[in-house]
Each structure stands twice: as structure tokens, then as C-alpha cells.
Structure 1
Amino acid sequence: MNNTAQSIDVVIAWVDGNDPKLKQKRQQHLSPEQASDAVSDTRFASNNEIYFCIASILKYVPYSGTIYIVTDQQRPQWIDEFEQQGLCNKYKIRIIDHTELFTGHEQYLPTFNSLAIESMLWNIPDLSEYFIYLNDDFFFNNLSKREDFIDQDKLVIYGHWQNSFSKKIKYKFRKYLNHYFDKQIQPKYTTAQMLSADILGLSQYFEIHHRPHILHREQFKKYFNLHPEILKLQLSFKFRHINQILPVGLSNHLLIKKQQAVLKPDVDIAYLKNQQGLTKFIQDLQSNTIKYGCIQSLDQLDQDAARQISTALNAKFAGFLPKSLLQYEPV
């Protein structure tokens, strides 16, 4: 439970894709029809990002409540060291297994689909009414204030409006090619955002990017209770699929329609997408104005680049990391 009514819980989706048991389980559910982007190894790779994510919350988010880590019968190797080193109390970090997350919907397990998992976050027991959701490769880069996410009981959403027309035409055309010519369709982040607005009757969508997002638990729960067929569709795909909506986008657009959101422009993030962005990313880690960061595809960096990133992040979050991580040498 939260320490105060002002605290906000944080939910992190995490998977160790290198786990042989998980790899074997994933292989059992693969089929030729699944899009390659949805099943690629890099989507499930883990390179200790979870520890930097948690360290950033402990360092920069003083109003954070419980940190929930959503996993599939896994546990980060050094997770207990945060409590053992006195960096947080024993109740601060809690592991939520998919079997607990999918209570009442167990028939859809196992799942390897982040959009299905996100659709069930409202089902976490004791989760605060408002909560912050991050992928494990997101982190806070500077001190965060509660007002960054909640402004007078309205949730703050950062992004910009996009017209849905061209995106919807492309979506329908790709489905046509798939149906008549068996052309594989890759799931797209922006398409899922468009669909999350489209099902609510909006002709434009508020596009968001890779950063922590504030969500409203009751909005999620109420919508899926009223539209169980949409939840069923979301959960029915073992891997990400072109027909899925973005749950974060759904929450955002529900709040926008009800005038319960404050819309703000995009903010810069420290973003490592590939090796070409290495120098800028390390520079952005030192910025006093960039509040968030995202590290993608660490598994695709060469050894020297991986070491540079590890050194920079270890320095950034010194004093908030498990000691075992500091002794770890990237390979």
C-alpha cells in the first residue's frame, strides 16, 4: 500500500528474453503468420536496463509509491539488493507475475505481447488510482515533480495531434495486401495509437513518444468492463498484432474526451536508438533540462559502445544501484 495519499505507484513491464525457459515457451507459440517485428529477439532482450530504471525512480521520483515489476515467472537477479543496501524498504518493490495480473483471464496465458499485458495493468491489486507506467528501458533523467503528471486532478499528457486519415488508409491497405496477397503486416506503434482514438470516434489522435506515462486505473477498468469484446481481442494475440490498440493511447483519449487531461507539447528525451546516437545520448544524460530517457536495443551495440553506456549510466545513478551490477562487465 502507498505511504501517503499523494504518492503515485509506478508499474514497469520487464522480461528477461535470454532466459532459456522463456525462449522455449515463446518458440512453442510461434507461427509463420506472426509478424517478424513482433517476435524478434531484440524485443525481448534484457541488458540490465531494469536496474537503471528503478535507480532513476529512487533518485528522482520522491513521490513514488510502490514500484510494481510485471514479469512472467521471472525475477531480476539483483532486485533484492535495493532493499539489502538500504536504498528502499522491503515493501517498495513488488513483483507481479502474469498469473496474478491476468486473474480472471488466465485462458490468455502465456502471452508475449506487451499490448496485451498493458491492457491488464488495471488488475494489479492495491494499485494507486493514478499510476506511472514505464517500459524497463525508460528512466527518469532529472528530478520529477508530481505536477509533471497530475495538474489539479487532471492528468498531464505530452505529445501532439495527428490527423488519422492517412494512417487509417495505410492501415486498411496493408490489411488488404495481407488478405489477398498474404503480405506480412508489421505492427506499428503509431498505428496502435491511431486505433486507440478511432474506437472512441475521434478523427485525430494525440501522438505520444517513449517516456513515462501517467494512467488512470479506474478509466481502464471501467472501459474494458463496458467493452469486454475489445479486451478479449487485445488479449487474444500471443504477440503484438496490427489490430491491437495502444492501451496507453486508449487511456489518454478517454481522458481527453472527458476533459480530464492537460495537453502539453512533446518534451526532449535522452534517447538511444542505435549506435549512431551514442555520443548525443551520453551528453543528454548530463542535461539539466531533459527529464526522461530511453535506451533501446542495447543488445545490438558493439562491446565498446556497450561499455561506454554502462559506464555513463553507472555514474549517472551512482549510490542507487545494486553493487552486483557495478561489478558486471558487459559482453
Structure 2
Amino acid sequence: MNKIDFVITWVDSNDPAWQKEFKTYLPQNHCMNDIRTERYRNWDNLRYWFRGVEKFAPWVSKVHFVSCGQAPDWLNLNAPKLHFVKHSDYIPAEYLPTFSSRPIILNLHRIKELSEHFVIFDDDCFLIDKVEPERFFRKGLPCDMAAFNTISPIVPFAPKDYNNLCVINSSFKKHEMLRKNFWKWFSPQAGNKLLRTLFLLSWRNFTGFYSHHLPQGYLKSTLEEVWECHEEVMLRTTASRFRNITDVCPWVLRYWQLAKGNFVPLNVCRDGINILISEISLDKIVKIIERHKKKIICLSENDETPYEEAKEQINAAFQKILPEKSSFEK
């Protein structure tokens, strides 16, 4: 395994042309679509993502920067490791423009230059300390932490979890999978989450999977296989320009790898942390970044996030640990 690529998706919601197109395609009755402001908000910290990759993961083969055609003015499109990918380069024209990350990610296998082994980053996930390739792949397989869970429908868009499970349960037999991959599902790497798996063993079908919100490794062949087996639901999701309750979401790809046993057990939460900014003090977030308390940090937001204040303090912390320009910058 000599090549591991990174993929990051991005949108500049401050772009007037994008805003106009967004309003043009937004359905008049959009109550069934997820169009929350924080899904598109620009934190102006993308340069620190690239600096972190260059400093802490210099082994990466290629970075696929995916957008609708937008790129920040400072981005060096001629950087040796950068592949600038427009949605129109790989998503069929009849499904564009799209304002949902789901078709953008579910169709990544159509990028010809994409390596078989790649890691998907959301643009709110940053490297803040050195990581090795073995953090994402071992023995040619993605590293992941397998544990069962249950669907908790506490938010309006929980149906995506139900839709994902319909795909998985129609393709895999839970207890047959457990017999084949017993030591992967009962690995000490799962830590106290083993209890979830034990308590949910008696259910015949998959009731859910523990999900982390950290960069995840994938096999390109996984996407091709899911499309081959479930083209109808994948096309339906691709046709949704905005998040819709009939969609599957990209986690179905991870669940597929888990159900098939195509992973190596690893406690991915040991060196990574997912923070909901509104639920933790900004001082604590700044310390985690500046003191490199974790290797990977994901900074999630909601409608209660103090956007301007958080943006200023968090970006200042990134600047402190990553002050030098990367080759991805002009």
C-alpha cells in the first residue's frame, strides 16, 4: 500500500453567485430539507487545514480538494500534491448543482485519479499533531472502531440513519458477520463501547453502529460495491439537491466496511476529539489546539455557537501552532 489520498469538500457560502444559485434551486416548500445556516458557514480557517496536512501528514500522496468550482484566492492550484476537483468533473450533469454533501461524497469513486485508499475529511476536522499512515490504514484495510448502537430519533433528520440501516440489513446477516469477524467486533480497541455490542447482540438485525465524527479511511472499491448493489437508493440521494429525508448519508459507506469486516480494529477516539463548540469553553478548545492534546480535532457547530467570538479565538490558536505557509498557498 504505497498511496493514501486525502479528500476534503468545501463551499464558500459568502460567494454571491453561490447564494443566488442556492435561492434559485431551493424548493418553495423546503420543510423536508436540512438547510441550516451552520451547514454552509465559512470559518475562514481552511489554510490551517492544509498547513496541518503538510506539517503533520507529509506522507499523503494527493489532496483532492472538492468544490462546486470555488477556491479561495490564496490556494495554489499548481501545488504538486493538490488535485482541484469540481463537482462537474465527476458528478453527472443532471444532478448539478447540488447543495448537499451527500451526493458529493457518495460519488467520489468517480474521480479517476482517486487512490484505492483514501481518507475523507470534513472541513471542520483538523490535524494538530503528527499522524502516521497506520492511523488510517493497516494491512491494506481502513482502521475503525466497531460497536453497535441504536437509532435515537431526537433530531428531525434521523431518517437518514434508518435509511442507512435498511441498506445494510438487506445486504448482510448480522450474526453471520459476527461469526466471521468475531475478534474484530470484540477487540479491546472498542473499550467501554464493547458493552453496547454485548447488550445489542440478541437483536436479529443491525440496530445501528457507533459513529464518530473524525476523518475516516475508505476503500474506493467500497463505494463501487455499494453503488453496484444499491444503485436505486444511491441515485435517489444523488438527485437530492438539498438534504432530504429519503436520503442515505455517507456513513452508509463506513457501515458497509464494518458489516463486511473490511477494517482493522483501532480506537480512533484515542487521538481524536469531536467538540461541539457551544458545549465547551473556548479557553479549553484553545488549550487543546495549542498544547496538541490530541492529534485530530473536529469542531462542530450548531445554532447556539458564538460564531464570531469562536472564529476569532480558534483561528488565533491555529495560527499559533501553524504560522508558516504551506506549499498549498500562493
Q: TM-score range by the shorter chain?
A: 0.7 to 0.9
1:50 maps to 2:46: yes
**Aligned counterparts of 2:243 and 2:70: Cα–Cα separation in 1:** 21
Counterparts of 1:142-153 in structure 2, within 5 Å, are: 142-153=129-140
Q: Note the C-alpha offset of 1:233.
A: 1.1
Q: Note the C-alpha offset of 1:211.
A: 1.2
- Once the two structures are overlaid, the 10-residue window that deviates more, 120-129 or 219-228, is 219-228
**Aligned counterparts of 2:264 and 2:31: Cα–Cα separation in 1:** 36
**Aligned counterparts of 1:195 and 1:276: Cα–Cα separation in 2:** 32
Alignment counterpart, residue 281 of structure 1, candidates 279, 285, 289: 285
* SS in structure 2 of the partner of residue 204 of structure 1: coil
Q: Note the C-alpha offset of 1:282.
A: 0.7
Q: Deviations over 1:28-81 (max 9, x none)?
A: 111243248721332112122321111111111122111111111211221118
Q: Deviations over 1:6-33 (max 9, x none)?
A: 2311110000001000000000111243
1:312 maps to 2:317: yes
1:209 maps to 2:212: yes
Alignment counterpart, residue 269 of structure 1, candidates 273, 277, 281: 273
Q: Deviations over 1:130-183 (max 9, x none)?
A: 10101112111211111111121221113642034xx4xx59xxxxxxxxxxxx
Counterparts of 1:130-141 in structure 2, within 5 Å, are: 130-141=117-128
Q: Note the C-alpha offset of 1:91.
A: 2.4
- Aligned equivalent of 1:31: 27
8 A contact 1:186–1:241 mirrored in 2: no
**Aligned counterparts of 2:235 and 2:328: Cα–Cα separation in 1:** 43
Structure 1 residues not aligned, in runs of 5+: 84-89, 172-184, 326-331
- Once the two structures are overlaid, the 10-residue window that deviates more, 313-322 or 135-144, is 313-322
* SS in structure 2 of the partner of residue 200 of structure 1: helix
Structure 2 residues not aligned, in runs of 5+: 170-204
8 A contact 2:145–2:267 mirrored in 1: yes
- In the superposition, relative to structure 1, how do residues 153 and 101 fare at CA in structure 2: closer, same or farther (>3 Å)? same
Q: Match of 2:259, as an amino acid?
A: K
TM-score, normalised on structure 2? 0.79
Alignment counterpart, residue 261 of structure 2, candidates 255, 259, 262: 259
**Aligned counterparts of 1:34 and 1:231: Cα–Cα separation in 2:** 21
- Aligned equivalent of 1:86: none
**Aligned counterparts of 1:286 and 1:312: Cα–Cα separation in 2:** 6
Return structure 1 stretches of 4+ with deviation > 6 angstroms.
Answer: 322-325
Q: Match of 1:210, as an amino acid?
A: H
Q: Deviations over 1:96-137 (max 9, x none)?
A: 0010021xx211111000111111111112100010101112
1:124 maps to 2:94: no
- Aligned equivalent of 2:72: 76
1:187 maps to 2:157: yes
Q: Note the C-alpha offset of 1:278.
A: 0.9
Number of residues of Structure 1 aligned to a counterpart in Structure 2: 292
Q: Deviations over 1:189-220 (max 9, x none)?
A: xx534532331115232222221111111110
Q: Match of 2:319, as an amino acid?
A: N
TM-score, normalised on structure 1? 0.79
Q: Match of 1:273, as an amino acid?
A: I
1:97 maps to 2:86: yes
8 A contact 1:17–1:41 mirrored in 2: no
Q: Deviations over 1:283-328 (max 9, x none)?
A: 1113445121123449953644432222111012122458999xxx
- In the superposition, relative to structure 1, how do residues 132 and 74 fare at CA in structure 2: closer, same or farther (>3 Å)? same
RMSD: 2.8
8 A contact 2:8–2:65 mirrored in 1: yes
**Aligned counterparts of 2:114 and 2:85: Cα–Cα separation in 1:** 11
- In the superposition, relative to structure 1, how do residues 323 and 54 fare at CA in structure 2: closer, same or farther (>3 Å)? closer
